Every structure is written in structure tokens, then in C-alpha cells.
Structure 1
Amino acid sequence: MNTEATAMAHRVARPGTVATWLNHWSIQHADWGALSQVSCIGIDGTLLQLLMRRAGYDLGRTSADLVLPILFRDVLPADSAIALIGAAPGVAAKAAARLGTRHRVRAWDGYEQLSSLRFNPEELEEFSPDVIVLGLGAGLQDEVAVEFHRRFPEAVICTSGGWIDQFSRKEQYFPAWVHKFRLGWLWRILHEPRRLLRRYTIDAVSILLKQREYVGRLQALRVEPTPICLEVRRHRP
């Protein structure tokens, strides 16, 4: 059992939590204004975890694909209302079908349906979600998370990057050995080379060159490190 992911799942489950994750790529495309208003920031990815440790932050590695299945399976009460928002049309609906055996799940895509919800969230209000999962691009998903938190202050809101798309295809996108040996980067390059090769080469070098800048920006958020995440003291339920 991944004890860090389990602990993070319990942390995320607190009503009113806005949880997000950063890796070496997304931190370079972050919406820092939105990050200052989330509850907690998990570190996803070995490279960023190592850089944070070098700066004195001994944080465990968690990620949406590790934490969310535990949250849904083991932590949330059965029949919780879960909204999945993101990915291409039809993809979130496939992911919702996988979760629908235990919970009430509704899906909206990350394109026109997201735009409609942001303009008029009446459909989401009628659904009355306990949990909102946002699988959008870096920066945007944090912006929308903070925006929806103002409208649904008691809901748990989590960003999830590409997890909705991954979960729609397979319940466990990464084999267990990939996480065990920290080879998620290699697995993703082999499966999505055109989209991700730059992320794990040029962008990895970029964060190494600018690590002090980005660690400093995180420190400016007045974060409080815990073994599983960075608590943002400006906004902590």
C-alpha cells in the first residue's frame, strides 16, 4: 500500500479542500495567483521532489493517479456525488462509467461544456457535487478550481492533469512496477512520444537551470511543508 497516497487521499477528503499537484513541467506553466488560493499542493514527479528536497523540503511524492482511486474507493462515503470535468468530448463520460458503480458521477468535457459551466454553473449546482475533479491544462485547472471553490465552498476540488483521459482507457494506466521504480516518465515517453519527449528533456533541463526561481515562488506562497504536501497557509480549511 502506498502510505503517502493514502494519507493524501484522507487530507484531500476534508470538505472545502482545493488540492492540486505540481511536477517539473506544470510548475513552469503555473497560475501563481490561483496557487496562492488553493489548500494544498502535492509534488508529482521524481525530479521536482528531488529539487524540493535539495531546498530543504522533504516531501513525499503523490499524484492524482495514485490518490484519486484511493479517495473514491476507500475514503469517500458510498454514493458521493462526483463531477468529472475535462478531457475531450465523451472521454470524461467513459471515466464516469468506471466510477458509477459506487458513486453518483456526472461528466462534462473540457471544451464547450466547461465554458458553459463557467458562464452558468446551474447544471453543476443542480448536481450538488461533493467532489469536483478538474482534468484541464496546467494553469487553467488551478484557475477553474479556485473559481468553482467560490461557488461550491464545501465541495472537495482536485486537479488531475491527464488522469481523466488515462482512467477512461484503463483503471490503472500505469502498471505497478512503473510507480515502484519511478519510471512514469519513460512509460509516458514510449506511449506519447510526440507530446511528451520535450517535457522530459528540454523542459527538465529548464527547471534544473531555474530551480531557485521556482522554489522561491513556492516559498512566497507561505507554504508549510508536511510529509505529503505543501499546505498553503493563506487558504487552509
Structure 2
Amino acid sequence: MKAPGHERWRHDTVDVLGIRVSRVDATVLRSFVAEAVASRTTLTITFANPDYVLKAQKDDELRGLMNGFDLNLADGWGVVLAARVFGRPVPGRMANDDLTDDLFGQPAAEGWRVFLFGNAPGVAEAAAANVRAWYPGLTIAGTLHGHWADEHGRIPAATAERLVDEINAASPDILHVGLGTPLQQRFVAEYRDRLTAPVIITCGAYFEHLAERRDYYPTWVLRLRIGFLYRLAREPRRLWRRYTIELGSYLVRVLAHRVRAR
């Protein structure tokens, strides 16, 4: 596994409970992506939200996987708040949904090829159809669903090699990997040296949002910074524990860490 921090991608970070979170804004992100595509130098990007940070506290593998990415962007106001509490604020929330214009508008303008890999069968195709309509000129090099894991939650090596070959055959400049955490981070870590796409971005369930509508979060939700409540209202059974018990535990750990640091 390549170590993070290639000279081209040196930037300031903040430690959020063991996760190295990047202190960059969308302008820096776009410049890094452009340089990676132009130089064909690998740039890996993932996202840190409170749920992942909390799990990484107890999971050494997940913590190592996330810290092995070149950029680890703040996904969620809980991470933004933690960075402020620790005295090293990040520019703002930078989840996939916040960066749609950057992730697809920039490739459309530059003529780059984008590949969507992940989520349930049919979702990536629906997302691809929408982003093509929203960003005229965008080239979708290909799509693949992400339901390949075995009963142990891992993609068998032979299957992964075949998927890598299929992705490489499409010659994408940017690869979005939506397999869920930690499977997506593990896939990128294990195959980044075999994947020819210079920019590789994890995205969780992002394709589901793109398949539905361009602005997944209404403007008033983003303005009030209550995206987590909006998602909880939409998927209460799946998310209630994450946004109640686990979020409370995360905030307690952040405050305790701050007190110890003082």
C-alpha cells in the first residue's frame, strides 16, 4: 500500500480522534484533481464523518485505511465542529453532496472521463443518466454495480481483479467507488496501484442521491446545517442509532479529548 502524502498533495491537516482530516477547500480540491489528471499521478480521496471516526476509534484497520488516503475530507458538521473545538478549523463541510458541481462540472468542462462503480444494480446507471443531463458534455466512461462482497464482507480476489480490468479498459480519468465503509477504502488501498484512473474517490451511497435528484439536501436544510436530521427523517430505521446514541458518544469523546489536551 502506498503511503499518503505524495509531494504533490502536501497540505495541512487536523487530527480528529485519530483520523487525519484535510484542511482544504473546494478550490484546492479542484487544483489537486486537475494536476492529478494532467500528470497521471494517483490522487485518492475519501471522507470522514462522525460515524466513521467513531468506528475507527475501535478498528485499527479502518483507521489505517482512512489515513492512507491522500485527502480525507470533512463529511458532516460533526467533523467540522470537532476541528473547531481542537483549534484547527477546516474550511467547511465537504461531503460528496456538497461537491457535485466540482465532481462532475469540472470533468464536463475539461473533457475528462468519469466511471461510476458501486451501489445496488441499476443505481449507477440512473445516476449516470442524471449527471449527463445536468452537465452537458460530461463523458461517463462506464458504470458497474457494487454488490460483489462475499459472506465475509470482502470482494474475492479473482472478482476484484476482473472488476479492475473492466474499469481500466474504460480508461477513466476519475473513478468513483461507492461500496460502503470499510469495503470501499479497502478496495482502493488494495488496488490503487493496479487502477489506471489517476483520481479515485470513495462515495458511499452518493449514487443513490444522484439517481434521485441533483440537490439531495434542500437549500434550507443546508442553511440550517441539519442534514443529519433530514436523513434521519427519511431513513429512521437504518439511521436512528447512528444519529442518536453514536453521535452523542462521538461528541462526548470530542469534548473529553479537548479537556485532556488542555
Q: TM-score, normalized by length of structure 1?
A: 0.79
Change (3 A) 1:147 1:99: farther
Residue in structure 2 matching 1:108, options 138, 141, 144: 144
| Corresponding position of 2:179 | 136
Aligned to 1:161: 204
For 2:49, which of 15, 20, 23 is the aligned residue? 23
**Aligned partners of 1:149, 1:119: CA distance in 2, in Å?**
12
Report the RMSD for the aligned CA atoms in angstroms. 2.6
Give secondary structure in 2 for the equivalent of 1:89.
Answer: coil
**Cα separation, partners in 2 of 1:9 and 1:117, compared to 1, 3 Å:** farther
Of 70-79 and 93-102, deviating more is 70-79
Q: Pick one of 186, 195, 202 that aligns with 2:229.
A: 186
Q: What percentage of aligned pairs have identical amino acids?
A: 30
Contact 2:131 2:210 in 1 (8 A): no
Q: Matched residues in 1 for 2:257 and 2:139: separation?
A: 39
Letter aligned with residue 183 of structure 2: L
| 1:145-204: CA deviation from partner (whole Å, max 9, x where unpaired) | 223321135510111122111101111111122212101011111111111111111110
Question: Is 1:119 the equivalent of 2:161?
Answer: yes
Distance of 1:179 and 1:13 partners within structure 2: 27
Please say if 1:89 is aligned against 2:132: no
CA distance in 2, matches of 1:117, 1:169: 29
Q: Distance in 1 between matches of 2:200 and 2:235?
A: 28
Hey, what does 1:68 align to over in structure 2? Answer: 100
Alignment correspondent of 2:89:
58
- What SS class does the counterpart of residue 25 from structure 1 fall into? helix
Q: Is 1:39 equivalent to 2:70 in the alignment?
A: yes
Aligned length: 213
Q: What TM-score do the two structures reach when normalised by structure 2?
A: 0.72
Tell me if the contact between 1:64 and 1:160 (Cα under 8 Å) persists in the aligned partners: yes
Q: Tell me which of the two structures has the higher relative contact order, counting C-alpha pairs closer than 8 angstroms and 6 or more residues apart.
A: 1
Whether the 8 Å CA contact 1:94–1:168 is kept in 2: the answer is: yes
CA-to-aligned-CA distance 1:2-25 (integer Å, 9 cap, x gap): x94454344344412111111101
Structure 1 residues 124, 96: CA separation in 2 closer, same or farther (over 3 Å shift)?
same
Deviations 1:122-142 (A, max 9, x none): 211110110010112122221
Give 1:83 shift: 1.1
Segments of 5+ residues of structure 1 without an aligned counterpart are 216-237
Moved more, 147-156 or 174-183: 147-156
Matched-pair contact (CA < 8 Å) for 2:114–2:173: yes
- Regions of 4+ moved over 6 Å: 212-215
Q: 2:194 aligns with which of 148, 151, 169?
A: 151
Contact 1:17 / 1:156 at 8 angstroms: preserved in 2? yes
Structure 2 unmatched runs, 5+: 1-23, 37-41, 57-61, 150-154
* Number of the residue aligned with 2:32: 11
Larger radius of gyration, structure 1 or 2?
2
Alignment-derived partner of residue 250 in structure 2? 207
> Which 10-residue stretch deviates more, 23-32 or 115-124?
115-124
Spell out, residue by residue over 1:96-150, the C-alpha distance to the aligned partner (whole angstroms, 9 max, x if none). 1123342221111111397675132221111011001011212222112223321
Please list the CA deviations of residues 51-87 of structure 1 after superposition, one character each: whole Å capped at 9, or x if unmatched. Answer: 1221122112211111133231135544422111111
Distance in 1, Cα, partners of 2:44 & 2:257: 21
Letter paired with 2:102: I
Partner of 1:171: 214
Distance 2:87 2:67 in 1: 20
